[in-house]
Amino acid sequence: MQPTQVPLLSKLKSYWELPRDFFSVKEQVMKPMAIPTFQPRLKVLSREQGLAIHTAALEILEKTGFKMEHPGALELLADAGCEVSNGDWVKLPSYLVEESLKSAPSQIALYDQQGNETMPLVNGNHFYGTGSDATFTLDLETGQRRRTVLNDAANFAKLVDGLENISFAMSMANPEDAPIEDIYGYAFAEMVKNTNKPLVFIADSGRDIAKIYEIACLVAGGEEELQKKPFLLNYSEAISPLRFPQNVMERLIFCAEKRIPVCFPSGSNAGGGAPVTLAGAMALGIAENLGGLVVHQLVGKGSPFLFGPNVSVLDMKSTVVSYGCPEWSLTQAALADMRDEIYGLPIWAYAGASDAKVMDAQAGAEAMFSIITAMLSRSNLIHDVGFLEYGSTSSLEMVTLANELVAMSRFFIEGIPVNEETLALEAIERVASGGPGSIFLMDDHTFEHFMQAQFLPKLLDRSRYDSWVEAGAMDLYKRCNIEAKRILSEHQVEPKPDEVLKDIDRILEGR
């Protein structure tokens, strides 16, 4: 229906020049506004609770203090107004925290290695990725748990490159065959060679982070280009409770200076490095995070800092730090609420991991629990996807499964669009009052909409029993194994230029 031409009233000489149907109701009724789709969001903490935890964190920094083992950072803190006692025990006044929260950027843009902005860390944007140094991995061929090697870092990176819902790569390996002084550099190089997605990396000290940085500049085409479009984020952590080692601070300071995005999540695990009650564990972890943030902003005001601690639990029977517990999902959901109420900085989180030793129902249950809650909380950068055995073993099958679990969660949080098309009244009329044989399956409306209207699983199996048996009666682990193998053999990673690859080796070998 063409809209009536409404003439400019100012150009009219008389009322009678208006088109006859100018005042006709049909054309002049405003179209109803589209009903916005509500997208489920999980809230676990009130503003009051968040403020109390934040205040407790400030009190820890001001009254208890922390151990700063980096002399340069110690001096900076003292000059900025901190009280220093016993050589290296620092007490930090709250105003320094407030200032650094203000100067830290409220958004961090991460790019892929080809300069595309693929991970804008801001608001409710959420991105999933793998985890770092796993000592073991599940062998893709034998299913056996074995030590990781460099080739595993390569394979995990390639798999991430080929999975549409996994946005960044971490090493997933503590490679046994890499020279130990440069283990993190070698792991980083494997990632660079096997994916173009953004990378989250770890390092040991100022020495090897400089090497990794050199490689990154090479890939980006220069220091300036890397700063403008960073494709990497460093993961460093203080030691709970309240200890800031020298080599850790070297990395934090390096990142602040070079404006490399960094996160600083100490493992303030309830009952381990932190009190067993979750509020206290959060307060301690946040205090340690804020302590790092203050130094970070003093060194590089405005440098990007991804906020948040890792608050899991120390299991009270096995003394492992749990990667499948509901507590970690709960504390990071609480942190997300605190981000929205207080901090305004993008946050770090975890998901898609398990304490199970094999990829069984426990692995699936625990992975899904953390994946969906992280998304419901809108955590921004969500790592550790694909971990088994409380982070000690990496699994290609788990990463492959998680890709689908993320998609399933995403479908859920996108909500239910309600509009003329989706209410489908015309289709209902057609099918209900149509002749015999009239079914929705045959209707145009279904044909046009089914691919967007439904979640279409690939690995989660819904086939009829007999077809399932005929196809080999395979369980999910087996199906994910086959899919991971397929991706690794078929997926093409856009390769880096030869000169870049040669230079990477040169830097690693120290030539």
Partner 1 sequence: MSEFKTLSETVIKGDINKAVAETQKAIDAGSDVQAIIDDGLIAAMDEVGESFSKGLIFVPQMLRSAKTMQECMKVLEPLIQEGDVASKGKVLIGTVKGDLHDIGKNLVSMMMEGAGFMVTDLGVDVTPEKFVQKAQEVEPDIVAMSALLSTTMPAMPQTIEALQKAGIRNKVKVMIGGAPVTSKYAQEIKADSYAADAGSAVVEAKKLLGTS
Instruction: Give min distance, CB of 446 to partner 1, in A.
Output: 53
Asked if 362 interacts with partner 1 (CB under 8 A), we say no
Which residues, numbered 470-509, are part of the site for partner 1 (CB under 8 A)? none
Least separation in angstroms between CB 238 and partner 1: 10
Site string for partner 1, 110-129 (x = CB under 8 A): --------------------
* Choice between 245 and 280, CB closer to partner 1: 245
Complex with partner 1: residue 131 or 273, whichever CB lies closer: 273
Cβ-Cβ contacts under 8 Å for 444 (sequence gap 6 or more): 427
Q: Does 354 sit near partner 1 (CB under 8 A)?
A: no
Does residue number 243 form part of the binding site for partner 1 (CB under 8 A)?
Answer: yes
Number of H helices, E strands in the chain: 19, 17
Can you tell me which of 239, 279, 408, 474 binds partner 1, judged by CB under 8 A? 239
Which residue, 162 or 267, is less far from partner 1 as judged by CB? 267
Q: Measuring CA to CA, which residue among 97, 194, 176, 86 is closest to residue 137?
A: 176
- Binding span for partner 1 by CB under 8 A among 150-158, 314-322, 326-334, 457-465: 314-322
- By beta-carbon proximity to partner 1, the closer residue of 124 and 245 is 245
CA distance readout (Å), 379 to 87, 306, 321, 370: 38, 11, 21, 11
| Residue partners of 63: CB distance under 8 A and separation at least 6 | 91
Cis peptide before 3 (omega within 30 of 0): no
Q: Which of residues 430-449 bind partner 1 (CB under 8 A)?
A: none
Q: Is 314 in the site for partner 1 (CB under 8 A)?
A: yes
Min dist. Cβ of residue 319 to partner 1 (A): 6
- How far is Cα 44 from Cα 333, in angstroms, rounded to an integer? 6
286 with 53: CB under 8 angstroms? yes
CB of 146 to partner 1, least distance (A): 10
Return the range that interacts with partner 1 (CB under 8 A); candidates 51-59, 243-251, 327-335, 401-409: 243-251
Which residues within the stretch 137-166 sit at the binding site for partner 1 (CB under 8 A)? 147
Its sign, for the CA torsion 509, 223, 245, 147, is negative
Residue 316 is a binding residue for partner 1 (CB under 8 A): yes
Give Dmax over CA atoms of the chain in angstroms: 92
Size of the site for partner 1 (CB under 8 A): 21
**Torsion sign across C-alpha atoms 141, 146, 152, 157:** positive
Q: Which is nearer to partner 1, 111 or 184 (CB)?
A: 184
Which residues are within 8 A (CB) of 124 and not within 5 positions of it... i.e. 6 or more apart?
41, 378
Q: Residues with Cβ < 8 Å from 311, sequence gap 6 or more?
A: 268, 269, 270, 274, 278, 281, 282, 285, 327, 328, 331, 332, 335
What is the closest distance, in whole angstroms, from the C-beta atom of residue 204 to partner 1 in the complex? 5
Instruction: Check binding of 171 to partner 1 (CB under 8 A).
Output: no
DSSP string, 410-445: HHHHT----SHHHHTHHHHHHHHHS-TT--GGGSHH
Q: Write the binding mask 255 to 294 for partner 1: x where contact by CB under 8 A, - elsewhere.
A: ----------------xxx---------------------
Residue ranges in 172-211 that form contacts with partner 1 under rule CB under 8 A: 174, 180-181, 183, 204
How far apart CA 66 and CA 243 sit, in angstroms, is 6
Angular region, 86: left φ>0, alpha ψ -120 to 50, beta rest: left
Residue 361's CB: how many other CB atoms inside 10 A? 10
Provide the binding-site residues for partner 1, judged by CB under 8 A.
Answer: 133, 135, 147, 174, 180-181, 183, 204, 239, 243, 245, 247, 271-273, 314, 316-319, 392
